[in-house]
A = this chain, B = another copy of it.
Amino acid sequence: MHTFRRILCALVLLSPLAQAEEGMWLLDQLPLQALKDDYQFEPQPAWRERLQNATLRLAGGCSASFVSPSGLLLTNHHCIRQCLAQLSSREQNLFETGFQATRAEDERICPEVEIHQLIESSDISPVIAQVVKDLAPAQAAAAREAALAELQTSCAAGAPKLRCEVVSLYGGSRYALYRYRRHQDVRLAFAPEAAIAHFGGDPDNFSFPRYALDMSLLRIYEDGRPLSTPQYFPIKAAGARRDELVFVTGHPGATQRDLTVTQLTALRDLILPQRISYLAELRGVLRQFAQQGPEQQRISRREYLAIENALKSFRGRHTALSEPGFMEARVEAEKVLRKKAAKHKLLGPDSAKAWDEINQAQQIWRDIYAEYSMLELMRGYQSDLLAIARHLVRAAQERPKPDAERLQEYADTALPQLTQHLFSAAPIPLQLEELTLGWSLEKLREQLRPDHPAVQISLGAQNPMQVARDLVRGTRLHELDQRKALWDGGIDAINASSDPMIRFARLIDGAARAIRQRHEQEVEAVIARNSRLISQARYQVEGDSRYPEASFTLRLSYGQVRGWQDKGRQIDPFTSIAGILARATGQPPFALPASWSALGDGEELQYAMNFVSSNDIIGGNSGSPVLNREGELVGLVFDGNMHSLGGAYAYDGRYNRAIAVHPQAIRLALQSIYHANRLAEELFPRP
């Protein structure tokens, strides 16, 4: 009885009819009827156009938006951690001090930040349909891939400032070509201290009530001058009212709401538990490493924070998948779809085949997961230097090949980002390299067992720490000119290199490539092919009344400024400046930076600090603007609550909330706390 009722509840939840507010919508495919019916809102073309032009993507996996006509953009502090680390030194730690460019010329180049601005997206489904018409499945797949690669390459040919991406929507039921402007001269204008950006630290992460100023300001330059950006989001300092309709634009990374039951089961039972325990142990190692001294703390901080964040996120997902009733509901939903597919012959005569083949591929995936993740995903080789070495080795092997035959990360369109990474001047902390490489080689041996050929090749008669020490201390790949010489010298330079890291990368690459190939052929391709079939069946049933899975492309979500009920307790949607003062204990992660002691006891104590809304977001939405009907910025998304983590697999409007910085806090910080007058005036111009 109880079980049945619980399943019923969950079924309602997960039914293919999207819940109100669920959805990460394409801008050219908004749920207009729902917006009109529920909110009497009818978006105009100019409104959409501004949203497209002023919403940005950080190549590293965040969102951002223009907030002034002079190329100034707002994103999260946690989205530019890499830049802050790279601009920090023993002498000046920007995480501790924060940063403010008092004068325009003080803005500092972020070595590896790349910003993408969507110029246009076009539907190329008809072209692809034409290409594969009348072909048998095997030929169709190859022809499709070739056509997509060709479209992507020719789209940006000869235009290094453009980036084109083929995007598969509805599991390959539709294809689109996205053309972006690529900005690589990006400079840091403002970042507060990590203590306030990340106030509450890991304990408060993915939680609310919350009090964090997780913001930063960057500026895009072109030809040495600030980019002119007439389309931007003016900030409305007052923010949005309780229950007000708000929009979030941005680039949600990936959802997996259409996975089959066996795929979800493998995530719950194998993939997520493995990830979690791997990261938990690495977290412990780095925590203790950081205790050894301030320098160790500095060089490991960024990785440590990333791990904490990933851990909590994976745990949230695992919890969602393990919730009683969740999987049962998915089993039922899958039955329903399979029945419809069989009844209407949506998948040809053998309707069960698509699911059966995915199930078989999942079994193989389980069998090879340890090898694949350790060798190809380099979880057994955690080292930036070794990753660089592998890139150099593989690039030398791949670049001479025709573009379409290369491993995808060495395709022409991918090279600018790769070289930016390879030739970054950012220092690589060798002590940390040695630590993580040594530790991960232990995991390699643990996961694959000492007798595995790849383990034998990697370790020989040495122990993991020795191997790591010899490699890190022997290599010169931390020197930029070494990397450049090996890149330019191609395969001959690689073969002739006596650099131990290069030699090691060559030594271990056979096993990695072999398992990658097996994964691509027996898992990835099988799942892609059959997921496409299932998605097509679903698309035939639902059409585009449903949004496609998130794909790191521009989306819009709508929702309301609204709290939620947590075990009978009503959570208010706003927190205040007074609240953060009450929560500050003086001890990290609840210690306010000294700058905040300037706060008086005036009316600013009543200003809002953070707030939540029911927008459907996911990783990648960090840095997204929260907008009102007028296209004004009324918030800066930086997190979701615990329930939002399950959003990878399903959205639940009762609990799922996005968390944002309130513009009152942004204004207060710039004006009264950091006295960043130049930027404050740019963002909040006096009328």
> Is A446 in contact with B284, judged by CB distance below 8 angstroms?
no
> Is A359 in contact with B462, judged by CB distance below 8 angstroms?
no
Closest-CB distance, A454 to chain B (whole angstroms):
14
> Is B359 in contact with A2, judged by CB distance below 8 angstroms?
yes
> Is A203 in contact with B450, judged by CB distance below 8 angstroms?
yes
- CB contacts (< 8 Å) of A586 on chain B: these are 461
Residue A439 interfacial (CB < 8 Å): yes
> Is B277 in contact with A288, judged by CB distance below 8 angstroms?
no
- CB contacts (< 8 Å) of A439 on chain B: these are 284, 287
In the assembly, what is the distance between CA of A363 and CA of B325, in Å? 12
Q: Which residue of B lies closest to A447 (CB)?
A: B203
- CB contacts (< 8 Å) of A270 on chain B: these are 322
Closest-CB distance, A303 to chain B (whole angstroms):
13
Q: Which residue of B lies closest to A589 (CB)?
A: B463
Q: Which residue of B lies closest to A282 (CB)?
A: B284
- Among B315, B360, B363, B462, which residue has its beta carbon within 8 angstroms of that of A585? B462
- Among B276, B446, B461, which residue has its beta carbon within 8 angstroms of that of A587? B461
- CB contacts (< 8 Å) of A463 on chain B: these are 585, 587-588
A204 and B289 in contact, given A283-B284, A587-B462 (Cβ under 8 angstroms)? no
- CB contacts (< 8 Å) of A404 on chain B: these are none
Could you say how many copies of this chain the assembly holds?
Answer: 2
In the assembly, what is the distance between CA of A373 and CA of B445, in Å? 31
Which interface class (under 10, 10 to 19, 20 to 34, 35 or more) fits A? 35 or more
In the assembly, what is the distance between CA of A360 and CA of B286, in Å? 40
In the assembly, what is the distance between CA of A322 and CA of B363, in Å? 12
Closest-CB distance, A521 to chain B (whole angstroms):
20
- CB contacts (< 8 Å) of A681 on chain B: these are none
In the assembly, what is the distance between CA of A360 and CA of B2, in Å? 9
- Among B273, B283, B449, which residue has its beta carbon within 8 angstroms of that of A273? B273
- CB contacts (< 8 Å) of A587 on chain B: these are 461-463, 466
Contact with B along A233-276 (1 / 0, CB 8 A): 00000000000000000000000000000000100111001001
- CB contacts (< 8 Å) of A462 on chain B: these are 585, 587
In the assembly, what is the distance between CA of A274 and CA of B549, in Å? 30
Q: Which residue of B lies closest to A363 (CB)?
A: B324
Q: Which residue of B lies closest to A204 (CB)?
A: B450
Residue A32 interfacial (CB < 8 Å): no
Residue A207 interfacial (CB < 8 Å): yes
> Is B284 in contact with A280, judged by CB distance below 8 angstroms?
yes
In the assembly, what is the distance between CA of A460 and CA of B590, in Å? 12
Residue A92 interfacial (CB < 8 Å): no
Residue A3 interfacial (CB < 8 Å): yes
In the assembly, what is the distance between CA of A366 and CA of B6, in Å? 16
A322 and B269 in contact, given A200-B450, A292-B292, A449-B207 (Cβ under 8 angstroms)? yes
- Among B2, B277, B286, which residue has its beta carbon within 8 angstroms of that of A280? B277
Residue A202 interfacial (CB < 8 Å): yes
The listed residue with most B CB atoms (<10 A of its CB), out of A1, A276, A277, A280, is A277
In the assembly, what is the distance between CA of A270 and CA of B283, in Å? 20
24 A–B contacts from the bound complex (CB under 8 Å): A1-B356, A2-B356, A3-B359, A203-B445, A265-B324, A268-B269, A273-B273, A273-B276, A273-B322, A276-B276, A277-B315, A278-B280, A280-B280, A281-B284, A284-B286, A285-B288, A287-B288, A324-B366, A460-B585, A461-B587, A462-B585, A462-B587, A463-B585, A466-B587
The 7 closest A-B pairs by CB, nearest first: A284-B284, A288-B288, A269-B322, A461-B585, A463-B587, A284-B285, A280-B281
Q: A281-B284, A284-B286, A324-B366 are in contact. List 11 more A-B contacts (CB 8 A).
A: A202-B446, A203-B449, A203-B450, A268-B269, A270-B322, A273-B318, A276-B276, A284-B284, A284-B288, A460-B585, A462-B587
